[in-house]
Amino acid sequence: MDTIHIRGLRLRTTIGVAAWERKAQQDIVLDITIHSDQHKAGGSDDLHDTIDYKAVRDEVVELVEASAFQLLEALAQAVAACVLAHPGVTAVDVTIDKPLALRFADSVAVNIHRP
């Protein structure tokens, strides 16, 4: 299966379970891998034959910035559902990094795969 990668999408959202985490938006970093068949697009060179990754990005940004999940897992599931709604997407991998979530760690990340 062919893939399209959106890497290092930096957004701000309300995320976390602690009271202090609910008061201000935090930075997160998303990596999204979109699985789809790209044979037709490779031959036609036509945007209509592929996944419009700008449209995907725009919808994910709107979703994430308006959300207020407690868990990275729930946010990742919502992002996956958003991407899977696009025609031609057969599966998606979503990784969300929460920088500085733990002392002494660069980040905490959750990765999900949804067919």
The residues that are catalytic are 98
Full DSSP string of 81-97: HHHHTSTT--EEEEEEE
Could you give the residue ranges of the DSSP H alpha helices within 25-104? 39-44, 53-66, 72-84
- As beta bridge partners, residue 33 has 5, 93
Residue 48, helix vs strand vs coil? helix
Please give the Cα distance from 14 to 37 (Å, whole number): 34
Please give the Cα distance from 62 to 19 (Å, whole number): 24
- As beta bridge partners, residue 11 has 28
